[in-house]
Structure 1
Amino acid sequence: MPAERLLPSTEAEDLLKLTREIARDELAPVAAEHEEQARFPREQFRLLGRSGLLGLPYPEKWGGAALSYEVYLQVLEEIAAAWMSVGVGLSVHTMSCYALAEYGTDEQRARWLPDMLGGDLLGAYALSESHAGSDAAALSTKARRDGDDYVVNGTKAWITHGGEADFYTTMVRTSDDGSRGISALLVDAATPGLGFGAPEKKMGLTGSTTTQVLFDGARVGTDRLLGAEGQGFKIALTALNSGRLGIAACAVGLAQAALDEAVAYAKQRAQFGRAVIEFQGIEFLLADMAAAVESSRATYLEAARRRDRGLPFVRQASIAKLVATDAAMRVTTDAVQVLGGAGYTRDFPVERYLREAKVPQIFEGTNQIQRMVIARQLRDA
């Protein structure tokens, strides 16, 4: 059942109600089939766009809804609870718009941002490379200036929406000056010289296409440089700070879905003449699951409120991502345990939830990296 919310306005309550209706009627009924067939949910993203859900935290001037992160993340949680691939995709799209929204010129924003926020265009975020995952500053995809273009060569790895997105917010190396030699380009999917590898064969989130993104002499106009040359690494890290909150919210949604399924099953499954939810072993397991879900939700909401108030939130974002994704792994594992043998079959969704819970501990910075960020923030305070 949906968690009770304390929302800041009637408008936010109405938005969350709309989101739940879409999640219940349009997402949840088709999620299992799409995941089983590894079918990308493009129509569902178009629906979110038509419903005004693809640009929630961005200014109305550029086609967004100017909502707080506190509200946006709760919308994201509801979507992820119905279909994790779509929730993660919305979070990635929101992060992909960040560089243009925060660092682009007014001319660049007016040209591209309304379609990105209005749902006509779907985004991808191209930072990682096979040798530059946690060490993002080691990226080697190069962009050489040639007149009014950058000529881009290199390979990005593990890119969500690879081959499906309409634009790629791409971090490239424009000089050899370490992290200060990285720049951000807004690359159109139709750019000649841009190609894609075969979709990765993943254990979960199979409806969300993940590929390499290949640049072979791709020419990208200098008018698509976001911010200044050499500013890309800063742009990437600031985008990730907010993106980690998105992944935390998705993880909570996934854990809530697993908890709801476990509770429903435990109420109707009888052993020794009574429902298994009446046995202390199951009661305590469900209680711990509920505690993990609600404490994780409180953690991401507090980080979001700090962001909304303009306070530092880097440490809190890393804590939220760490706590929520570790909790989702435990809760989905325990959901399978509550269902017993049935939980290990595809007749129930908890086995899919368990497979989907692993990767949030890895992307947007592994949880080991989050611990490093938290410790450094404490050291430097």
Structure 2
Amino acid sequence: MAGMVIVGAGEAGARAAAVLREEGWDGPVTLVGGEVHPPYERPPLSKAALLAEAEPAATTVLDRERAAALGIELVLGIEAAAIDRAARTVFLADGRTLPYSRLLLATGARPRRLTLPGHDRVLYLRRFDDALALRPLLRPGTRLAIIGGGFIGLELAAAGVTRGCAVTLIEALPRILMRGVPAEIAAVIADRHRAAGIDLRTGIGIDRIEPDAVVLADGNRIAADAVIAGIGAVPETALAEAAGLAIDNGIVVDATLATADPTIFAAGDCAACAHPLYAGRRIRLEAWRNAQDQGALAARNMLGRGEAIAAVPWFWSDQYELTLQIAGLADEGRTMVARDLGDGAQLLFHLAADGRLVAASGIGPLGKIAREIRLAEMLIAQRAAPDPGALASPTVRLKTLLAA
């Protein structure tokens, strides 16, 4: 019997499989993953997995026992090789075939890789096994070079310096966190990393990587016992593209996460979704909560619900004792309003030309910003256009703006 097949056993795929059962689907559900590990969370890989004193275990989100209890077949350690859309069949690398009535592609993303001379010496972090390989390098005295000033690079740098490494972080762009993070917040994070002892180099490229050094474009050499790159991710779209599905920085899906083939959906890091909150702008998000939200939405729509995505994009990163949270898309804003929350915490509100709140960025202790960002997220979802003066004033509670 043809059932529901999910290719990609990460956060989005596992969530979709569970929601299919929660929503009453009693037919076959098969979850296919290329890793041997049951589905696990990726955010701890750059944090707890590197910092734990004891050998870490993956933070599993759907273990074999729960999968069996839900009647979900886990096919792990096997890649999906091809899709026959006419026959509604997925071919696995070991020769097996899986017929489907609906197919979800939750194939995720892979690290973007360097191609400069010496690139074969560079390490990356994406999978649990990568974290296990990196852990022994993070020890006192190791000279660690991190290439890339995005979330992963910065979290790796923080883990390295916490474990006693001498860390240099190199970013070719003029500042860290150029993608999606306001300069004001990026500056706070950069200062915190420098205060921790990290040598932060921005606005400089790399010429080559030698056995014991990274050679910069200006000829300077950064001594390094290990080099780790975190320069972004590339969506895993080869399977979809070979099946004739449209690709545009991800698998092209509409607001319901359906591809042009109504029997095939995509969710998570690999999906480029037309988002109604932003006038149908096609967005691909590499974020933990997005994978959960889209996995659940895809499952419901595989069952014919036809729901459009409504979740506000949300990002989060821990940097030492600081938490960064962003709701919405800051680059949609035309004006910015700041709110001082005290104790070094601040919020930045991003308003569109028509005054609508399209994003909010927060930095500071988790307890100071989490609730405020959540309320801002609700305002964004409401398409609210709050008074800028009220947004700026710490004495005006965001909850009152929400009620208005």
> Does TM, normalized by the shorter one, top 0.5?
no
Which structure has greater strand proportion? 2
> Which structure's CA Rg is the greater one?
2
Q: What TM-score, normalized by structure 1, do the two folds share? A: 0.26
Looking at secondary structure, tell me which structure has more helix per residue.
1
Higher relative contact order (CA 8 A, sep 6+): 1
